Structure 1
Amino acid sequence: MTPYSLAFYMDVVTTGTLLGLRPTDSPDRVTEVLGSRFGENSFDRQSMWRDYGLVEFFWDRARTNDPWKGHHFTLQVHRLAYRNRTLVSETFRDRYGRFTPRLRFDKLRRLLERRGVPLVEVPDPANAPYYRTFWQPVSKVAVMVIAGYDEYSTPDNLRVGDVYSIVAPMTDAEVEWRRAGAA
């Protein structure tokens, strides 16, 4: 992996932001930073997400007339394994360079620990035993890692130890809920 794209992932995990964007930022603010090339999706009038290829931002609101409130963002790292250059926008490439098709968790974790940014494993009963989830308590970022193969849930072109996705935020309450459910 190039040092630049690895720096991108390290920045996200360390700060809980993506190019300065917080999970709570408005759709307009996200468009201002990432541009207008996205797919917009909605299940209903109270939830929406925008797919920028590598990253998706999610919003919700209580009523149709209310403003959108940012809920979370997800880096869909596993999509890079398909080697589709359009997944990584020019905004990311201009700042971080070339992105490789896989992100090895052990390398990311080792470099984060050198920075003093530890990752703590949290239970993931919904995805075990094929995935493991690690959490950064300060930035509230979760990293999902492939732990085993399953013909239905493991993506092609990925290996055990590859990062599947990175999500911000994973709240303290969700971590406690997962721990309580695993006990």
Structure 2
Amino acid sequence: MITSGTVLGAKPTHTPEEVTAILGPDFTESSVYADSMWHDYGLVEFFWHRQSPDHPWEGHHFTVQVHRLASGATGTVPTAISARYGRFDRHLRLHQLQRLLAHRRTVLEEVPDSNAPEYTLHWQPTSHVSLLTYRTRETWARRGRPARGDNRHLGDVQKISSSMPPEQVAWHRSRYGP
């Protein structure tokens, strides 16, 4: 998904029906307002918006909530994804991912972000996919201990999201530094 900008071929611009045809019908549909909706497949979420209830849904982006793997909960990985890729580890480390991507000649650029220093943001320029990576335990230092149920490790990829265009990267760099 980092190199292709898709999830098993499902693009962020696909309709809800097209995504369902690829990932299957096992999702929770959520809609807070009449102009936005998302399907939660556990690990993967797809988001849509529309101008009004009279207009069709338009794909906006997807997010892979990698941090959900740490719980080890059954059913977190959609069946279509586990059928293709098999079992997933509980943690996806950025350095391991970068090694795998290097074999595909795929690079990630670091992008300044408001979540620093606790998280770092990385971007793949060709696919426009971004990754947020857990970096520090500053919150823990203030609390004196990790929050209950916090299974994060330093260097874990928190989430992978589609549709971060170069203009958004340029805005981040102008706002938060080079």
TM-score computed with the length of structure 1 as normaliser: 0.89
The Cα shift of 1:14 comes to 0.6
Runs of 4 or more, structure 1, over 4 Å off, are: 151-155
Does residue 50 (structure 1) correspond to residue 24 (structure 2)? The answer is no
- Partner Cα separation in structure 2 for residue 41 and residue 102 of structure 1: 27
1:135 matched to 2:123: yes
Q: Does 1:79 align with 2:68?
A: yes
Q: Which residue of 130, 135, 160 corresponds with 1:147? A: 135
1:84 is matched by which residue type in structure 2? A
- Report SS of the residue matched to 1:117: coil
- The match for 1:180 is 174
Structure 1 residue 114: Cα displacement: 2.3
1:90 Cα deviation (Å)?
Answer: 1.6
RMSD: 1.6
Secondary structure class of the residue paired with 1:86: coil
Q: Deviations over 1:56-106 (max 9, x none)?
A: 000001111110000000000000100012111221111111011110110
Instruction: Give matches, 1:26-37, under 5 Å.
Output: 26-37=15-26
- Give the secondary structure class of the aligned counterpart of 1:121: strand
Deviations 1:22-51 (A, max 9, x none): 000000001111111111111200010110
Decide which structure has greater helix share.
Answer: 1
SS in structure 1 of the partner of residue 3 of structure 2: helix
TM norm structure 2? 0.92
Q: Percent of counterpart pairs with the same letter?
A: 46
The answer to whether residue 12 in structure 2 is matched with residue 23 in structure 1 is yes
Partners of 2:109 and 2:162 lie apart in 1 by: 15
Kindly tell me the number of residue pairs found equivalent between the two proteins.
171
* CA distance in 2: counterparts of 1:177 and 1:147, whole angstroms: 22
Aligned mates of 2:15, 2:127 — CA distance in 1: 19
Matched AA of 2:57? W
| Residue 90 (str. 1) matches residue 84 (str. 2) | no
- Where structure 1 has 5 or more consecutive residues not aligned to the other structure, the ranges are 1-11
